[in-house]
Amino acid sequence: MADISYTPSIERLAQAFRTLPGVGKKSAYRMAFAVLDMPEEKAKAFSESILEAKRATKKCSVCQNISENDICHICASEKRNKNLICVVENPRDVNAIERIAEYKGVFHVLYGVISPLEGKTPEMIKIKELIARVNELCSTSKPEEIEVILATNPSTEGDATAMYISRLLSPFGVKVSRLAYGIPVGGDLEYTDEVTLFRAIEGRATLV
């Protein structure tokens, strides 16, 4: 049976939705028709919210997390332990850890992991920014007072990235630890419950 083809404008809209992660063909068409069913003002507000988010957000100059200011609210907080850095793969992982309301340090967002199969090299993620940050911290604090928690996901790429970063940090003499995951290998922090995340942070293992 041949696929049904809609008008060019609907096809373009559905194709735009299909570029989003996890959105298949059927879901893309459902979203497209949902937009068509919106009143014009609501559709306009929907499109404007996308453009506004693109214009307003930037990367925090300290931790690389998404922010609407040069420094995000976590890095700007005086209540946070700046010598405790939790390294995560993406901004969604920051929110996952923040949900447990127990972690009092700061973050560093890599925006991915090293993956030779996908052509993703260390230079393509925010590793050099992390090293520069730790180097700066070592100029104001004793190395033994600094800890870097490597909270990349428990996948082959996540583990390899964690080991790569730990080797780069070794000369600084800072403590480097890895989360003690109570979740399956291949799982994502984003979908992990708060209790498991809290236990993982509490039971982190020292790498260096």
User: Per-residue confidence of the chain (208 residues) as pLDDT tens digits?
Assistant: 456 678 999 999 999 999 998 999 999 999 999 999 999 999 999 999 999 999 999 999 999 999 999 999 999 999 999 999 999 999 999 999 998 888 999 999 999 999 988 889 999 999 999 999 999 999 999 999 999 999 998 888 998 999 999 999 999 999 999 987 665 656 677 777 776 777 677 767 676 6
Task: Classify domain 78-206 at the CATH class level.
Answer: alpha beta
Whether CATH 1.10.8.420 fits 8-56: yes
Kindly give the residue spans of alpha helices, DSSP state H, lying in the chain.
8-18, 25-37, 40-56, 73-76, 91-98, 127-138, 156-169, 194-202
Closest CA to 189 of 55, 118, 99, 126: 99
Distance from chain centroid for Cα 69: 18
The domains of the chain are located at: 8-56, 78-206
Give the CA distances from residue 189 to residues 90, 151, 186, 204, in Å, rounded to whole numbers and listed in that order.
10, 9, 10, 14
